[in-house]
Amino acid sequence: MKIALSLAALVALALAPFGVSDYGLGLLIGAVTYVTLASGWAVFSGHTRYVSLATVAFYGTGAYTVAVLNEAMPYWLVLIVAGLIGAAIALVVGLSTLRLAGVYFVIFTFGLSELVRQLITWYEVNVTGTLGRYIFLDVSAREIYWQMLALGAATIALTAWIQRHRLGLALRVIGDDEVVAAHSGIPLARTKLTAFVLSATILTLAGAIASPRWVYVEPSIVFNPTVSFLTVIMALLGGANRLWGPVLGAVPLFLAFEWLSARFPDTYPIFLGLLFILVVFALPDGILAGLERLKTRKTEDRA
Amino acid sequence: MLVTTLILGLVLGGTYALLALGLTLQYGISRIMNLAYGEFTLVSAFALVALFKGAGVPPLLAIVLIAPLGYAVGWILYAVMMRPLVARAGDAGRLDVASILATFGLMFLIQGGLLVTFGADFTSITYLDQGVNVLGVPVALNRLIAFAICVVAGGGLVLALGRTRWGLALRAVAQTPGSAPLVGIDVNRVARQGFALGTALAAIAGASIAMHQTFSATDGVVFTMKALVIVIMGGVGNVAGTLIAGLALGLVETFVATAIDPGLTLAATFAIFLVVLLWRPQGLFGRR
Amino acid sequence: MTNFSRRAALRAIALWTAASTLIGGPALAEGDKVRIGYAVARTGANATGAGITTIPNYELWVKTVNAAGGLKMPDGSQRMIEVVEYDNRSSNEDLVRSIERLASQDKVDLILPPWGTGPNLAVAPLFDRFGYPQLAVTAVTDKAPDFVKRWKRSFWLLGGGHDYAEGLVDVLKAARDAGTINNKIAAVSVADGFGIDLISGARPAFKQAGFDLVYDKSYPLGTSDFSAILSEAKASGADSFVAFSYPPGSFGMTKTAQSMGFNPKVFYLSVGGAFPIYPGIADGKAEGVMAIGGVNADSPAMQEYFARHTKEIGNPPDSWASAITYASLQMLEQAVARVGLDHEALANELSTGSFDTVIGTVKLEDNQLRDLWWVGQWQGGAFRAIDPADKPGASAPIIPKPAW
């Protein structure tokens, strides 16, 4: 039943571009992109509670790969290469960060994004002598939307599968208590690494798919730390350890951003900040948990 | 040349260390991961400029006025906004998440307020920026003052934490918040004091930045991140460690800029930071 | 109805209203107004630049036009301007969506471009697809001739990095040949598209003019301390210090140079050097500082524009891209008066017509404005254009610069 419902929604979403304006399509792309980022982020961070701020390191790497390679090889090959590069970086980073936990991991991943950005900048300035690359790809907004939708749907399907699989259980135990997990024979390193690489590959692909909309790419544009923060906040807002949590966080927050910035171009950060603080106090464990609490209260009312 | 690098690096490091002192208290003692920290320093920087340009208050006097205000604001913020988060969080991981989210909102709020009030333009004042000869190296007087403030504030803090009963309570809460109440320490009060003191230090740092640097309402994130890097390197809640890490960072940046390539200063900062984290995750001077 | 569900219903209504205004956009305006939209950065990294150069001029222009009764149409009637504005939050993704919104949802009559080279390139395909003319001012690019071919209705008004670099070399070469400065140059550049464009244009030009580039380094965006860089430049023995910098760097280097007593005979900055706040940042000692851009400070039209900007906005405009931004809006205004709001006719008129603006008479060549000032200098409290030296209105450079 649930699967049938999800599939029907997916089909409806896939047909949506035929019924909306260009701006409607832009909204759909934005919403689906953030859903993909938040869900992809949650593949690793949702259960393990390792808050990663490296989202933009991968997202930006994906976009940058397209910018560098878009004239050298066909588009589908560029996407594959981008995914592979993302996975490779994640493997190296994952191997070296396994011993970090808590806030140290948070800050490390943030530093990683900045380091990648600085190194690419330095390389471009000193070796290639140009900074700023062009993406003149003939990919329409609809195609971007469908690709992103496919990636988002695949991510959610993957999450659903992981949750039922041994990997999901292992990740949950790690999130609850790593010592317990180690004692019960869960291979800590391999489990964390697998999830991290999967998550990073999704994030890299998302960047690669989104990039043709930007035309001009330079490190300060693609490695924008706001993307990392927004992803974390959207996932946490919805409930990062649930299948539909990131979706429920990403869509309303994205729309709130859009609505506020159009209505109050001068003062919208103030409203956004207030909204944020309000949400933290009103929905401490995310929207999904809040909804469930309402539901239980309702049934109690009836009883 | 080596002397030049050393002196310029130390002076720069002093401004970095001063920037990070408040954050290490807020995170180390109050357990609040404050993403709006840079905005706190900016508010104070704008306040100093407004006092100086609007009312003609000399900046050094303005700092003395702003610091207690910062303490009061921090006290109220903790009581109204942070305390409920701490109360409901339970464990440290949940508190991290809650405080990151809440202070992220606070960051937008303050930045929006600053943009509306002061606009997007760059702001700066000219105050005591003549060069002073330090061992043959010309250094701007206002930077030297910032360095001196750093030494006084940092040194005073180290002494107060190490030598007084009050400091003992603060350290106890920083190290074992769970068992501090067992020996009769009011954790809530100490955490509030830590947060307020951290805000006061952020205000001092912001005011001294306003004396020697051009800034704009959107610079907060940069300050937060610099401070965060130093706090983590020095060991969370470790004031002496923060001072040393800040100075070290200033030295490294200056050394890289003169001896290797100015293009790599920020890359070097983050590379060292990552290496430190991998080698000693608790920070250079943190205890396990 | 229980208390709870009533609350839920109320909340649902509020949400629904919010959602429908979101989807529907603002109510359509009555037909006698011209709707002009823009999505410039109000927040984020680009907010500072946009807040100095772009937004004030858009606001000033709309105010001026509406105060005079509105935009003139070819039939002699006048229509008031109504502005639709969004914040692009310094993110290209949000920017692209905002332009789609302006074009396909709000269906505005005209769209004004965003601030910055990257943002202008990101929206160029959209302007092209929806057919709007794009008067890109704050975009410095050497590739403008290519872009004009790719996007027929795009106009590039601020020149390219090579132009500015070569203009600077002209000034330095004249001074060296007169024996005023030595043969050595120390150059620094900010590591982003703009700084790298300029330094890579400057290197061959310096070399060709026989200069010796004794110090040549780039520094990352976000650098706040310039003591190390400037002490190296000072030690290099160069008479000319050249910085291809952004405002924070331009200001930081000025303050550092003053405090360390670094007094090169030529002190050149890029963005920020022509800002009205610069003399204040230089503690009133800006005399002789050179920077990118410049205006003909003696022209009455320019003086009138400065006075009006100061009165309406509260501070004077910058002396580089501000006046050109305003001129681009005047071009638009005059083109509309001649051919109306049809995009094709408008683009054609912009491309071929000649216009009377605050920067003088403007006629585009191959959709680009080439008649620009490359180098300016602070002289007697005003930022005056000094290169091209043969262009009417140019002032003579003051070299060496007086000590700080």
Give tens-digit pLDDT for B8-46: 899 999 999 999 999 999 998 888 889 899 999 999 999
pLDDT at residue C28 in the model: 40
**Any domain includes C1:** no
On whether the CB atoms of residues C184 and C240 are closer than 8 A, the answer is: yes
Distances (CA, A) of C387 to C149, C159, C292, C390: 29, 14, 10, 8
Pairwise CB contact (< 8 Å): B102 & A277: yes
Q: What is the mean pLDDT of residues B122-138?
A: 81
**Any domain includes A137:** yes
Inform me whether the C-beta atom of residue A296 falls under 8 Å from chain C C-beta atoms: no
Chain C residues with CB under 8 Å of B225 CB are: none
pLDDT at residue C163 in the model: 92
CA atoms of A152 and A163, how far apart (whole Å): 17
Chain C residues with CB under 8 Å of A257 CB are: 89
CA atoms of C368 and B120, how far apart (whole Å): 30
What does the angle CA A96 – CA A98 – CA A100 come to, to the nearest 5 degrees?
A: 100
On whether the CB atoms of residues C353 and C330 are closer than 8 A, the answer is: no
On whether the CB atoms of residues B187 and B95 are closer than 8 A, the answer is: no
Residue with tokens 């135990």: A173
CA atoms of C303 and C300, how far apart (whole Å): 5
Q: Is residue A209 pLDDT above 80, yes or no?
A: yes
CB-nearest partner of B126 from C52, C261, C283? C283
Query: Residue B31: closest CA among chain A residues belongs to which residue?
Result: A103
Tokens standing for A63? 């976009």
Which residues face C243 on adjacent strands? C188
In chain B the first and final C-alpha atoms are separated, in Å, by 39
On whether the CB atoms of residues C231 and C174 are closer than 8 A, the answer is: no
In the stretch 53-82 of chain B, residues with CB closer than 8 A to chain A read 81
Fill in the amino acid letter for B114: L
Q: Is C375 exposed, middle or buried (0-12, 13-18, 19+ CB in 10 A)?
A: buried
From the list C204, C370, C187, C359, the residue with the least C-alpha distance to C270 is: C187
Confidence of residue B124 (pLDDT cuts 50, 70, 90): confident
pLDDT at residue A301 in the model: 67
Nearest C-alpha of chain B: how many angstroms from A122? 6
pLDDT at residue B132 in the model: 83
From the list B129, A187, B271, the residue with the least C-alpha distance to C252 is: B129
On whether the CB atoms of residues C247 and C346 are closer than 8 A, the answer is: no
Inform me whether the C-beta atom of residue C10 falls under 8 Å from chain B C-beta atoms: no
Could you give the percent of chain B with pLDDT greater than 70?
98
Tokens standing for C253? 């280097």
Nearest C-alpha of chain C: how many angstroms from B217? 8
**Any domain includes C13:** no
What H or E segment, with its residue span, contains residue C353? Answer: none
Q: Is residue C22 pLDDT above 80, yes or no?
A: no
Would you mind telling me the total number of residues written for chain C in this entry?
404
Q: What is the mean pLDDT of residues C362-383?
A: 94
Neighbours of A128 (CB within 10 A): 11
CA atoms of C131 and C125, how far apart (whole Å): 10
On whether the CB atoms of residues C181 and C265 are closer than 8 A, the answer is: yes
**Any domain includes C308:** yes
Chains touching chain C through at least 3 C-beta pairs below 8 angstroms are: A, B
pLDDT at residue C346 in the model: 95
**Any domain includes C317:** yes
Q: Is residue C27 pLDDT above 70, yes or no?
A: no
Interface probe with B: pick from A276, A279, A285, most Cβ of B within 10 Å: A276
Nearest C-alpha of chain C: how many angstroms from A261? 6
CB-nearest partner of A23 from C4, C104, C192? C104
Neighbours of C344 (CB within 10 A): 12
Tokens standing for C28? 């359509």
Tokens standing for C128? 């092209």
**Any domain includes A13:** no
Mark whether C194 and C309 lie in a shared domain: no
Inform me whether the C-beta atom of residue C276 falls under 8 Å from chain B C-beta atoms: no
- The domain segmentation of chain B, as residue ranges, is 2-226
Give tens-digit pLDDT for A267-297: 777 887 887 788 778 877 777 777 777 777 7
Q: What is the mean pLDDT of residues A194-209?
A: 95
Report the number of distinct structural domains present in chain C: 2
- CATH value at residue C123: 3.40.50.2300
Neighbours of A238 (CB within 10 A): 28
pTM of the model: 0.85
* C50 vs B277, residue with greater confidence: C50
The mean predicted confidence, pLDDT, of chain A is: 86
CA atoms of C355 and C130, how far apart (whole Å): 25
Pairwise CB contact (< 8 Å): C87 & A268: yes
Q: Is residue A171 pLDDT above 70, yes or no?
A: yes
Can you tell me whether residue C214 is helix, strand or coil?
strand
Q: Is residue B75 pLDDT above 90, yes or no?
A: yes
Of A100-114, C83-97, C119-133, C383-397, the least confident:
A100-114
Give tens-digit pLDDT for C51-65: 889 999 999 999 999
Tokens standing for B191? 């955490």
Fill in the amino acid letter for A298: K
Pairwise CB contact (< 8 Å): B212 & C51: no
From the list B241, B219, B12, the residue with the least C-alpha distance to B107 is: B219
Which residues face C267 on adjacent strands? C241
Residue C193: what are its φ and ψ, rounded to 5°? -50, -40
- CATH value at residue A112: 1.10.3470
CA atoms of C401 and C377, how far apart (whole Å): 10
pLDDT at residue C227 in the model: 86
Nearest C-alpha of chain B: how many angstroms from A256? 14
pLDDT at residue C212 in the model: 94
**Any domain includes A3:** no
**Any domain includes A4:** no
Residue with tokens 């401004």: B15
Report the number of distinct structural domains present in chain A: 1
Tokens standing for B41? 């320093």
Of A153-167, B105-119, C205-219, the least confident:
B105-119
Q: What is the mean pLDDT of residues C100-125?
A: 92
Q: Is residue B179 pLDDT above 60, yes or no?
A: yes
Residue C382: what are its φ and ψ, rounded to 5°? -120, 150
Residue C31: what are its φ and ψ, rounded to 5°? -70, -15
Chain A residues with CB under 8 Å of C90 CB are: 224
Residue with tokens 């942070």: B82
Q: Which domain range does residue A215 map to?
A: 19-302
What sign has the CA pseudo-torsion C184, C190, C191, C194? negative
Chains touching chain B through at least 3 C-beta pairs below 8 angstroms are: A, C
CB-nearest partner of A273 from B33, B100, B112? B112
Pairwise CB contact (< 8 Å): B140 & C256: yes
Confidence of residue C24 (pLDDT cuts 50, 70, 90): very low
pLDDT at residue B112 in the model: 87
pLDDT at residue B80 in the model: 92
Phi-psi region of A46 (alpha: psi -120 to 50; beta: other; left: phi over 0): alpha
Fill in the amino acid letter for C253: M
Pairwise CB contact (< 8 Å): C101 & A216: no
Residue B78 C-alpha from the chain's centroid: 17
pLDDT at residue C31 in the model: 56
From the list C301, C303, C368, C307, the residue with the least C-alpha distance to C330 is: C301
Query: Residue A261: closest CA among chain C residues belongs to which residue?
Result: C87
From the list A27, A54, A28, A100, the residue with the least C-alpha distance to A229 is: A54
Kind of pairing, strands C290-292 and C375-379? antiparallel
Interacting residues of B197 by C-beta distance below 8 A, sequence separation 6+:
B22, B25, B71, B74
CA atoms of A103 and B32, how far apart (whole Å): 11
The mean predicted confidence, pLDDT, of chain B is: 87
On whether the CB atoms of residues C172 and C240 are closer than 8 A, the answer is: yes
Fill in the amino acid letter for C340: G
On whether the CB atoms of residues A14 and A146 are closer than 8 A, the answer is: yes
Can you tell me whether residue C23 is helix, strand or coil?
helix
Mark whether C258 and C169 lie in a shared domain: yes
Q: Is residue C14 pLDDT above 60, yes or no?
A: no
Residue C107 C-alpha from the chain's centroid: 26
pLDDT at residue C38 in the model: 95
Nearest C-alpha of chain A: how many angstroms from B274? 6
Interface probe with B: pick from A270, A271, A293, most Cβ of B within 10 Å: A270
Give tens-digit pLDDT for B180-197: 888 888 888 999 999 999
Fill in the amino acid letter for B145: I
CA atoms of A171 and B227, how far apart (whole Å): 32
Q: Is residue C6 pLDDT above 60, yes or no?
A: no
Q: What is the mean pLDDT of residues B259-283?
A: 81
From the list C117, C118, C167, the residue with the least C-alpha distance to C291 is: C167
CA atoms of A135 and A72, how far apart (whole Å): 12
Interacting residues of B285 by C-beta distance below 8 A, sequence separation 6+:
B234, B235, B238, B240, B241, B244, B245
The mean predicted confidence, pLDDT, of chain C is: 88
pLDDT at residue C216 in the model: 93
CB-nearest partner of B267 from A97, A118, A271? A118
What does the angle CA C201 – CA C203 – CA C205 come to, to the nearest 5 degrees?
A: 75
pLDDT at residue C152 in the model: 93
CA atoms of B83 and B68, how far apart (whole Å): 21
Q: What is the mean pLDDT of residues A122-143?
A: 83
* B184 vs C230, residue with greater confidence: C230
Q: Which domain range does residue C166 map to?
A: 161-296+374-387
Query: Residue B84: closest CA among chain A residues belongs to which residue?
Result: A281
Nearest C-alpha of chain C: how many angstroms from A298? 8
Inform me whether the C-beta atom of residue B260 falls under 8 Å from chain A C-beta atoms: no
pLDDT at residue B86 in the model: 87
Confidence of residue C2 (pLDDT cuts 50, 70, 90): very low
Q: Is residue C23 pLDDT above 60, yes or no?
A: no
Give the A:C interface size as CB pairs under 8 Å.
Answer: 117
pLDDT at residue C18 in the model: 43
CB-nearest partner of A107 from B84, B108, B228? B228
On whether the CB atoms of residues C227 and B15 are closer than 8 A, the answer is: no
pLDDT at residue B286 in the model: 64
Residue with tokens 């000025």: C254
Nearest C-alpha of chain A: how many angstroms from B116? 7
Complex ipTM, two decimals? 0.83
Tokens standing for C193? 């598209």
Inform me whether the C-beta atom of residue B263 falls under 8 Å from chain A C-beta atoms: yes
Interacting residues of C384 by C-beta distance below 8 A, sequence separation 6+:
C294, C295, C296, C297, C376, C377, C378, C395
pLDDT at residue A303 in the model: 54
User: Which contacts qualify for A286-290: CB closer than 8 Å, 24 or more apart?
Assistant: A286/A236, A286/A237, A286/A238, A286/A239, A286/A240, A286/A242, A286/A245, A286/A248, A286/A249, A287/A237, A287/A238, A287/A239, A287/A245, A287/A248, A287/A249, A287/A252, A288/A238, A288/A239, A288/A242, A288/A244, A288/A245, A288/A248, A289/A239
Give tens-digit pLDDT for B146-173: 899 999 999 999 999 889 988 888 888 8
Give tens-digit pLDDT for A247-265: 998 999 899 888 887 788 7
Dump strand ranges (E) for C125-183. Answer: 134-136, 154-156
Inform me whether the C-beta atom of residue C283 falls under 8 Å from chain B C-beta atoms: yes
Q: Is residue C17 pLDDT above 80, yes or no?
A: no
CA atoms of A36 and A150, how far apart (whole Å): 9
Mark whether C218 and C292 lie in a shared domain: yes
Tokens standing for C167? 């203009």
Packing angle, helices B187-212 and B141-163, rounded to 10: 170
Would you mind telling me the total number of residues written for chain A in this entry?
303
Interacting residues of C76 by C-beta distance below 8 A, sequence separation 6+:
none
Give tens-digit pLDDT for A63-86: 999 999 988 889 999 999 999 999
Mark whether C285 and C205 lie in a shared domain: yes
Q: Is residue B209 pLDDT above 60, yes or no?
A: yes
pLDDT at residue C324 in the model: 96
Confidence of residue A197 (pLDDT cuts 50, 70, 90): very high
Would you mind telling me the total number of residues written for chain B in this entry?
288
